[in-house]
Amino acid sequence: MGAKAARQLATYASQLGWLSSTPNPKYEKSDKSTRQDIVGRVELPDVSGSEYLVQIFEELGRYAPGANGPEAIPFSEIESYDRLMGTNLSPSEVRMVRSMSTSFVSTYFAGENPNTPAPYTSGETANTLDDRILAGFSRRMKK
């Protein structure tokens, strides 16, 4: 797997983590709306040629449950999946799935800050996306 594909997969996972995060302008936990709920549909990076790794990432659940929230999927879980499903992942593919999970989790937690920008904005300008986010926050604040 090339470096470009690895970056695209990490950005893909980061974008999913950002969309799954629950931003709160007041840092209160009363509203559980995710960015996906607020913003709606947002493009994801092209992962052509690596769709099988995205499928494995999704089947593994993107993250592992932890005491303080999501944690990266442990290598042992990826190894168990690989063995049980007979996928015969290479070491670099195992590392990539783990990296995707790590990217998802770190961006998920970073996304609690409403000022955290989207990791990926291709297809629409960052300003347009920021405007959609601000409009969503304004609607939430009026509730």
Amino acid letter for position 54: V
User: Mean pLDDT score of the chain, rounded to an integer?
Assistant: 84
d(CA 136, CA 118): 15
Element of type H or E holding 66 = strand 64-66
Residue 124 — very low, low, confident or very high, per pLDDT cuts 50/70/90?
Answer: low
Q: Which residue has the higher pLDDT, 122 or 91?
A: 91
Asked if pLDDT for residue 20 goes beyond 60, the answer is yes
Give the DSSP letter string of 86-116: T----HHHHHHHHHHHHHHHHHHHHTTSTTP
Residue among 35, 31, 32 nearest 108 (CA): 35
Residue 125 — very low, low, confident or very high, per pLDDT cuts 50/70/90?
Answer: very low
